[in-house]
Structure 1
Protein backbone atom coordinates (compact mmCIF):
# COMPACT_ATOMS: atom_id res chain seq x y z
CA UNK A 1 0.00 0.00 0.00
CA UNK A 2 1.34 3.40 -0.96
CA UNK A 3 2.30 5.40 2.11
CA UNK A 4 0.77 8.85 2.40
CA UNK A 5 3.06 11.51 3.84
CA UNK A 6 2.92 15.14 4.90
CA UNK A 7 3.01 17.31 1.77
CA UNK A 8 1.38 14.70 -0.49
CA UNK A 9 -1.51 15.66 -2.74
CA UNK A 10 -4.42 13.32 -2.09
CA UNK A 11 -8.13 12.93 -2.73
CA UNK A 12 -10.68 12.86 0.08
CA UNK A 13 -13.94 10.95 -0.27
CA UNK A 14 -17.13 11.90 1.54
CA UNK A 15 -20.15 9.95 2.79
CA UNK A 16 -22.08 13.07 3.79
CA UNK A 17 -25.46 13.90 2.27
CA UNK A 18 -24.98 15.90 -0.89
CA UNK A 19 -21.35 14.78 -1.23
CA UNK A 20 -21.70 11.01 -1.64
CA UNK A 21 -19.64 9.82 -4.59
CA UNK A 22 -17.31 12.81 -4.55
CA UNK A 23 -13.55 13.25 -4.22
CA UNK A 24 -11.86 16.55 -3.37
CA UNK A 25 -8.17 17.27 -3.88
CA UNK A 26 -6.23 18.26 -0.76
CA UNK A 27 -2.71 18.43 0.60
CA UNK A 28 -1.68 16.51 3.72
CA UNK A 29 -0.66 18.95 6.46
CA UNK A 30 -0.19 16.48 9.32
CA UNK A 31 -0.44 12.73 9.95
CA UNK A 32 -2.01 11.94 13.33
CA UNK A 33 -1.50 8.50 14.91
CA UNK A 34 -4.59 7.21 16.68
CA UNK A 35 -3.78 4.99 19.64
CA UNK A 36 -7.43 4.09 20.36
CA UNK A 37 -8.33 2.35 17.10
CA UNK A 38 -6.73 1.24 13.86
CA UNK A 39 -7.60 4.41 11.93
CA UNK A 40 -5.01 7.15 11.78
CA UNK A 41 -6.12 10.63 10.80
CA UNK A 42 -4.75 13.29 8.50
CA UNK A 43 -5.11 17.01 8.72
CA UNK A 44 -5.64 18.19 5.16
CA UNK A 45 -6.04 21.49 3.38
CA UNK A 46 -8.31 21.44 0.34
CA UNK A 47 -7.18 22.97 -2.94
CA UNK A 48 -10.63 24.20 -4.01
CA UNK A 49 -12.80 24.49 -0.89
CA UNK A 50 -12.80 27.75 1.04
CA UNK A 51 -13.08 28.01 4.81
CA UNK A 52 -16.67 28.96 5.80
CA UNK A 53 -15.48 31.35 8.49
CA UNK A 54 -12.65 33.01 6.54
CA UNK A 55 -13.04 32.87 2.77
CA UNK A 56 -9.46 34.13 2.36
CA UNK A 57 -8.23 30.73 3.60
CA UNK A 58 -8.63 27.25 2.22
CA UNK A 59 -10.70 24.80 4.26
CA UNK A 60 -8.80 22.46 6.62
CA UNK A 61 -10.10 19.44 8.46
CA UNK A 62 -9.08 16.17 10.08
CA UNK A 63 -10.16 13.06 8.16
CA UNK A 64 -9.88 9.35 8.89
CA UNK A 65 -7.30 7.46 6.85
CA UNK A 66 -9.91 5.33 5.03
CA UNK A 67 -11.29 8.50 3.38
CA UNK A 68 -7.85 9.45 2.01
CA UNK A 69 -6.32 8.07 -1.17
CA UNK A 70 -3.41 9.12 -3.40
CA UNK A 71 -4.37 10.98 -6.54
CA UNK A 72 -5.13 8.45 -9.28
CA UNK A 73 -2.75 7.92 -12.18
CA UNK A 74 -3.71 9.51 -15.48
CA UNK A 75 -5.43 7.05 -17.79
CA UNK A 76 -5.75 8.48 -21.28
CA UNK A 77 -8.66 7.45 -23.46
CA UNK A 78 -9.55 8.46 -27.01
CA UNK A 79 -13.20 8.72 -25.99
CA UNK A 80 -15.63 7.47 -23.39
CA UNK A 81 -18.24 4.81 -24.07
CA UNK A 82 -21.85 4.62 -22.94
CA UNK A 83 -21.97 2.87 -19.54
CA UNK A 84 -18.37 3.79 -18.67
CA UNK A 85 -18.00 4.65 -15.00
CA UNK A 86 -16.37 8.07 -14.90
CA UNK A 87 -15.43 10.90 -12.57
CA UNK A 88 -16.65 14.34 -13.62
CA UNK A 89 -14.96 17.53 -12.45
CA UNK A 90 -17.74 19.83 -11.26
CA UNK A 91 -18.46 21.96 -8.19
CA UNK A 92 -14.79 21.98 -7.11
CA UNK A 93 -14.40 18.20 -7.00
CA UNK A 94 -14.62 14.88 -8.80
CA UNK A 95 -18.05 13.17 -8.82
CA UNK A 96 -18.66 9.52 -9.72
CA UNK A 97 -21.20 8.84 -12.45
CA UNK A 98 -21.93 6.73 -15.51
CA UNK A 99 -22.00 7.83 -19.17
CA UNK A 100 -25.53 7.47 -20.54
CA UNK A 101 -25.21 9.21 -23.93
CA UNK A 102 -22.51 10.66 -26.14
CA UNK A 103 -22.61 13.07 -29.04
CA UNK A 104 -19.28 14.07 -30.55
CA UNK A 105 -17.24 14.96 -27.46
CA UNK A 106 -20.16 15.84 -25.21
CA UNK A 107 -21.20 13.19 -22.71
CA UNK A 108 -24.33 12.89 -20.60
CA UNK A 109 -23.51 11.47 -17.19
CA UNK A 110 -25.95 10.01 -14.66
CA UNK A 111 -25.14 10.41 -10.96
CA UNK A 112 -26.71 7.62 -8.91
CA UNK A 113 -26.24 9.46 -5.59
CA UNK A 114 -28.50 12.34 -6.69
CA UNK A 115 -30.44 10.80 -9.63
CA UNK A 116 -29.26 13.77 -11.73
CA UNK A 117 -28.09 13.65 -15.33
CA UNK A 118 -25.94 16.41 -16.84
CA UNK A 119 -23.93 16.98 -20.03
CA UNK A 120 -20.15 17.55 -19.91
CA UNK A 121 -17.35 18.07 -22.38
CA UNK A 122 -14.67 15.40 -22.81
CA UNK A 123 -12.05 17.39 -20.88
CA UNK A 124 -14.16 17.33 -17.67
CA UNK A 125 -14.19 13.50 -17.46
CA UNK A 126 -11.74 10.83 -16.42
CA UNK A 127 -12.20 7.07 -16.12
CA UNK A 128 -13.22 6.16 -12.59
CA UNK A 129 -10.56 4.21 -10.72
CA UNK A 130 -10.83 2.35 -7.44
CA UNK A 131 -7.92 2.19 -5.02
CA UNK A 132 -7.79 -1.01 -2.98
CA UNK A 133 -4.81 -2.47 -1.14
CA UNK A 134 -2.42 -0.13 -2.92
CA UNK A 135 -3.65 -1.03 -6.42
CA UNK A 136 -5.56 1.17 -8.87
CA UNK A 137 -8.13 -0.54 -11.10
CA UNK A 138 -10.23 0.85 -13.97
CA UNK A 139 -13.31 -0.43 -15.74
CA UNK A 140 -12.63 -3.82 -17.29
CA UNK A 141 -12.89 -4.37 -21.01
CA UNK A 142 -11.55 -0.95 -21.99
CA UNK A 143 -10.26 -1.02 -25.55
CA UNK A 144 -9.45 2.65 -26.15
CA UNK A 145 -6.87 3.31 -23.43
CA UNK A 146 -3.91 5.22 -24.81
CA UNK A 147 -0.54 4.11 -23.40
Structure 2
Protein backbone atom coordinates (compact mmCIF):
# COMPACT_ATOMS: atom_id res chain seq x y z
CA UNK A 1 0.00 0.00 0.00
CA UNK A 2 1.32 3.43 -0.87
CA UNK A 3 1.59 5.95 1.93
CA UNK A 4 -0.43 9.08 1.44
CA UNK A 5 -0.25 12.57 2.77
CA UNK A 6 -3.23 13.54 4.88
CA UNK A 7 -5.26 14.91 1.98
CA UNK A 8 -4.58 12.41 -0.81
CA UNK A 9 -6.56 9.29 0.07
CA UNK A 10 -8.65 7.94 -2.77
CA UNK A 11 -11.78 5.82 -3.06
CA UNK A 12 -10.99 2.23 -2.03
CA UNK A 13 -7.98 3.07 0.18
CA UNK A 14 -7.91 1.15 3.48
CA UNK A 15 -7.41 3.53 6.39
CA UNK A 16 -7.85 3.98 10.12
CA UNK A 17 -10.03 6.67 11.62
CA UNK A 18 -8.93 8.34 14.87
CA UNK A 19 -12.08 8.88 16.89
CA UNK A 20 -12.66 12.34 18.35
CA UNK A 21 -15.95 11.29 19.98
CA UNK A 22 -16.10 11.45 23.78
CA UNK A 23 -15.75 7.96 25.22
CA UNK A 24 -13.81 6.84 22.12
CA UNK A 25 -10.78 9.15 22.35
CA UNK A 26 -7.57 7.23 21.83
CA UNK A 27 -9.17 4.69 19.50
CA UNK A 28 -8.66 3.84 15.83
CA UNK A 29 -11.19 2.05 13.63
CA UNK A 30 -10.45 0.40 10.27
CA UNK A 31 -12.38 1.78 7.31
CA UNK A 32 -12.29 2.20 3.55
CA UNK A 33 -12.51 5.51 1.71
CA UNK A 34 -15.85 5.82 -0.07
CA UNK A 35 -15.36 9.40 -1.31
CA UNK A 36 -12.70 12.13 -1.16
CA UNK A 37 -14.42 15.46 -0.49
CA UNK A 38 -11.29 17.62 -0.23
CA UNK A 39 -11.04 18.45 3.47
CA UNK A 40 -13.34 15.59 4.46
CA UNK A 41 -13.80 11.93 3.54
CA UNK A 42 -16.78 9.63 3.47
CA UNK A 43 -15.67 6.33 5.00
CA UNK A 44 -17.25 2.93 5.51
CA UNK A 45 -16.09 1.11 8.63
CA UNK A 46 -14.94 -2.50 8.51
CA UNK A 47 -16.35 -3.52 11.92
CA UNK A 48 -18.74 -0.74 13.01
CA UNK A 49 -22.36 -1.19 11.96
CA UNK A 50 -25.34 1.11 11.49
CA UNK A 51 -27.28 1.62 14.72
CA UNK A 52 -30.66 0.79 13.14
CA UNK A 53 -29.48 -2.12 10.95
CA UNK A 54 -26.52 -4.00 12.38
CA UNK A 55 -26.02 -5.89 9.10
CA UNK A 56 -25.03 -2.66 7.31
CA UNK A 57 -21.51 -1.21 7.78
CA UNK A 58 -21.53 2.30 9.23
CA UNK A 59 -20.70 5.13 6.81
CA UNK A 60 -19.86 8.63 7.97
CA UNK A 61 -18.08 11.81 6.96
CA UNK A 62 -14.84 12.48 8.83
CA UNK A 63 -12.31 15.31 8.75
CA UNK A 64 -9.09 14.65 6.83
CA UNK A 65 -7.05 15.03 10.04
CA UNK A 66 -8.79 11.97 11.52
CA UNK A 67 -7.69 9.69 8.66
CA UNK A 68 -4.41 7.79 8.38
CA UNK A 69 -3.24 4.79 6.34
CA UNK A 70 -3.22 1.37 7.98
CA UNK A 71 -0.03 1.08 10.04
CA UNK A 72 2.59 -1.43 8.91
CA UNK A 73 3.04 -4.59 10.95
CA UNK A 74 6.01 -4.49 13.30
CA UNK A 75 7.63 -7.91 13.51
CA UNK A 76 8.89 -7.34 17.07
CA UNK A 77 5.27 -7.23 18.27
CA UNK A 78 5.94 -10.27 20.46
CA UNK A 79 8.35 -8.21 22.58
CA UNK A 80 6.98 -5.64 25.04
CA UNK A 81 8.47 -3.54 27.83
CA UNK A 82 6.77 -2.29 30.94
CA UNK A 83 5.66 1.23 30.01
CA UNK A 84 5.52 0.62 26.24
CA UNK A 85 2.84 2.58 24.42
CA UNK A 86 0.71 0.02 22.57
CA UNK A 87 -2.65 -0.40 20.87
CA UNK A 88 -5.06 -3.03 22.22
CA UNK A 89 -7.85 -4.43 20.03
CA UNK A 90 -11.20 -4.21 21.81
CA UNK A 91 -14.76 -3.14 20.97
CA UNK A 92 -14.06 -3.33 17.19
CA UNK A 93 -11.13 -0.92 17.27
CA UNK A 94 -7.56 -0.27 18.42
CA UNK A 95 -7.23 1.67 21.69
CA UNK A 96 -4.03 3.45 22.76
CA UNK A 97 -2.70 2.29 26.12
CA UNK A 98 0.44 1.53 28.09
CA UNK A 99 1.76 -1.86 29.22
CA UNK A 100 1.26 -1.65 33.01
CA UNK A 101 2.42 -5.15 33.98
CA UNK A 102 4.30 -7.95 32.35
CA UNK A 103 2.68 -11.08 31.02
CA UNK A 104 0.85 -12.97 33.78
CA UNK A 105 0.46 -16.74 34.27
CA UNK A 106 -2.49 -16.81 31.85
CA UNK A 107 -0.36 -15.19 29.12
CA UNK A 108 -2.00 -11.77 29.28
CA UNK A 109 -0.51 -8.30 29.59
CA UNK A 110 -2.14 -5.61 31.71
CA UNK A 111 -2.78 -2.41 29.77
CA UNK A 112 -3.64 0.98 31.29
CA UNK A 113 -5.82 3.35 29.26
CA UNK A 114 -5.29 6.97 30.25
CA UNK A 115 -8.44 8.18 28.46
CA UNK A 116 -10.72 5.93 30.56
CA UNK A 117 -8.58 5.28 33.66
CA UNK A 118 -9.10 1.53 33.16
CA UNK A 119 -6.60 -1.29 33.38
CA UNK A 120 -7.51 -4.42 31.40
CA UNK A 121 -5.69 -7.66 30.49
CA UNK A 122 -5.12 -8.76 26.87
CA UNK A 123 -3.46 -11.70 25.11
CA UNK A 124 -0.51 -10.87 22.85
CA UNK A 125 -2.64 -11.42 19.72
CA UNK A 126 -4.78 -8.40 20.68
CA UNK A 127 -1.78 -6.05 21.05
CA UNK A 128 0.35 -4.10 18.60
CA UNK A 129 3.11 -1.51 18.88
CA UNK A 130 1.61 1.99 18.84
CA UNK A 131 2.61 4.05 15.81
CA UNK A 132 1.92 7.69 14.94
CA UNK A 133 1.41 9.00 11.40
CA UNK A 134 3.50 12.20 11.25
CA UNK A 135 4.36 14.25 8.18
CA UNK A 136 3.61 11.34 5.85
CA UNK A 137 5.75 8.83 7.78
CA UNK A 138 5.14 6.21 10.46
CA UNK A 139 6.87 6.85 13.79
CA UNK A 140 7.00 3.86 16.12
CA UNK A 141 6.72 4.21 19.89
CA UNK A 142 8.91 1.10 20.21
CA UNK A 143 11.72 1.51 22.73
CA UNK A 144 15.08 -0.23 22.66
CA UNK A 145 15.10 -3.98 23.25
CA UNK A 146 16.78 -3.97 26.67
CA UNK A 147 14.64 -5.45 29.43
CA UNK A 148 12.33 -6.89 26.83
CA UNK A 149 9.38 -9.02 27.81
CA UNK A 150 9.27 -11.93 25.34
CA UNK A 151 6.35 -14.22 24.57
Counterpart position of 2:92: 92
Number of residue-to-residue matches in the alignment: 138
- What stretches of structure 1 move > 6 A for 4+ residues in a row? none
Please say if 1:17 is aligned against 2:19.
no
Deviations 1:72-102 (A, max 9, x none): 0101223211100000000000000000101
Q: In 2 relative to 1, CA 55–140 (structure 1 residues): closer, same or farther, beyond 3 Å?
A: closer
Are the counterparts in 2 of residues 10 and 69 from structure 1 also a CA contact under 8 Å?
A: yes
1:103 aligns with 2:108: no
Deviations 1:1-41 (A, max 9, x none): 713211011000112111000000000000012xxxxxx11
Q: Provide the rounded CA distance (Å) in 1 between the counterparts of 2:95 and 2:142.
A: 20
Structure with the bigger percentage of strand? 1
Give the C-alpha shift of residue 55 in structure 1.
Answer: 1.7
Question: Which residue of the partner structure matches residue 133 of structure 2?
Answer: 131
* Gaps in structure 1 of 5+ consecutive residues: 34-39
Q: How does 1:1-147 map onto structure 2 within 5 Å?
A: 2=4, 3-33=8-38, 40-77=39-76, 78-103=78-103, 105-143=107-145
* RMSD over equivalenced CA pairs, Å: 1.4
Secondary structure of the residue aligned to 1:66 is helix
TM-score (normalised: structure 2): 0.86
- In the alignment, the residues of structure 1 paired with residue 137 and residue 32 of structure 2 have an alpha-carbon distance, to the nearest angstrom, of 21
Q: Which runs of 5+ in 2 are unaligned?
A: none
Equivalent residues of 2:11, 2:35 under 8 A apart: yes
| Corresponding residue SS for 1:123 | helix
How far is the alpha carbon of 1:140 from its aligned partner?
A: 5.0
Partner of residue 37, structure 1: none
User: What CA deviation, in whole Å up to 9, does each residue of 1:32-73 have, x standing for no partner?
Assistant: 12xxxxxx1110000000101222210000001000000001
